[in-house]
Structure 1
Amino acid sequence: MLDELIVILTDTVGVPAEDIGPDTTPEQVELDSLALVELSVALEEKLGVAITERELKDLPTVGAIAELVADRTGRA
């Protein structure tokens, strides 16, 4: 799931994939409020999972976001 999330982040926010890892914080990849909204929309469109900007904002790392996405989609 982390790999899929990295692709979505790269496509949505434009951060190079090599700059994103499981311990990367949202601040390190410049996930501000607008980017979190865009990520939320992209997750729903690409993976069919509804995660709000607020939920994404409360997660400390990209790995934690990937875990939440995996939980919601039922995929690892």
Structure 2
Amino acid sequence: MLLDQLKEILVTSFQADPDLVAPEATLTELELDSLDLVELSLVIEKQFEARVSDDELAELQRLDAIASLIGDRTARAA
């Protein structure tokens, strides 16, 4: 499931508190700054083969919305 994979990335690569990483959590609540968003966009591209810009991440904020966008982008690429 995309949300589970996204949670794993946030916990392992960005040291996000696993108790705070939930579908309705925002990137701001997880204390990710603009540089983290750039890095996260690169990790998403590599991990999921889906292009998601740091601007899109900043706009979407919620993890469930980000997972949905990743799902849409990977489905179109298939």
TM-score, length basis structure 2: 0.86
Aligned equivalents of 1:20, 1:54: Cα separation in 2: 20
User: Structure 2: where are the runs of 5+ without partners?
Assistant: none
Shift >6 Å, 4+ stretches: none
Q: Cα RMSD (Å) of the superposition? A: 1.1
- Listed as ranges, the matches of 1:1-76 within 5 Å are 1-74=2-75
- Residue identity over aligned pairs, in percent, reads 38
Paired residues in the alignment total 74
Aligned equivalents of 1:73, 1:38: Cα separation in 2: 19
Q: Which has the higher contact order (CA 8 A, sep 6+)?
A: 1
User: Structure 1: where are the runs of 5+ without partners?
Assistant: none
Q: Which has the larger radius of gyration?
A: 2
Pick which of 9-18 and 62-71 moved more.
9-18
